[in-house]
Structure 1
């Protein structure tokens, strides 16, 4: 398991409006593409350089393709990264102001301290 890779996915997708929409509409295709094309690129590196070993586990891939932010949190994905990305994807589907954020909090309410380790 790589919390780094989960967080890198959430971070990079959230910063690209086209990727946000792609992930919303086609999570399976987006995760598969991102893992093959972007996972091993060195983050914030301005020269073409890449590693070769980073891969999602089946559990991580399933949580990502299912938009399962509760499971991602349990796997150690950073809650601010999941929240900002999922707000961008799903807040528009909720009529009331902050209703997605309230749903996010409600669905994570069963976690108690200490929270899952989010260190990478």
Structure 2
């Protein structure tokens, strides 16, 4: 499992409005495309620099494809990255702060110590 790669997905998708919309409408296709095209590209480096060995696990792919923020947090994805992306994805479908409250309720069963979110 790679918390770094999960966080990198959340970070890169959240910062591109077109990718946010693509992830909203086609999560499975976006995850597959992102992993094939961006997962091994180094952040803030020229496009031709990268690695070849990083890959999401099946469990990570499933959680990303299903927009399962609870599972992502339990795997160690950073909660701020998850929350900001999921607000961009779903807040428009809810009233003021309604999505954020639902997000918190879904995580209410978790207690300290929380999963380690360091990468």
| TM-score, normalised by the number of residues in structure 1 | 0.97
Residue of structure 1 in register with 2:3 after alignment: 3
Which 10-residue stretch deviates more, 43-52 or 54-63? 43-52
Aligned pairs (5 A) from 1:1-120 = 1-46=1-46, 48-94=48-94, 96-120=95-119
Aligned-partner Cα distance in 1 for 2:46–2:111: 40
Identify unmatched segments of 5+ residues in structure 1. none
Number of residue equivalences? 119
Separation of aligned partners in 2, 1:100 and 1:74 = 19
How many Å separate the matches in 2 of 1:13 and 1:19? Answer: 5
What are the Cα deviations for residues 68-105 of structure 1, in whole angstroms up to 9, with x where unaligned? 001000000000000000000000111x2100000000
Q: CA deviation at 1:51?
A: 0.3
Q: For the aligned residues, what is the CA RMSD? A: 0.7
Structure 2 alignment gaps of length 5 or more: none
Query: Shift of residue 48 of structure 1?
Result: 2.1
Over 3 Å counting, the alpha-carbon distance change for 1:47 and 1:64 in structure 2 is: closer
Post-superposition Cα deviations, 1:5-61, rounded to whole Å, max 9, x if no partner, equal 000000000000000000000000000000000000001113520100000000000
| Runs of 4+ deviating beyond 2 Å | none
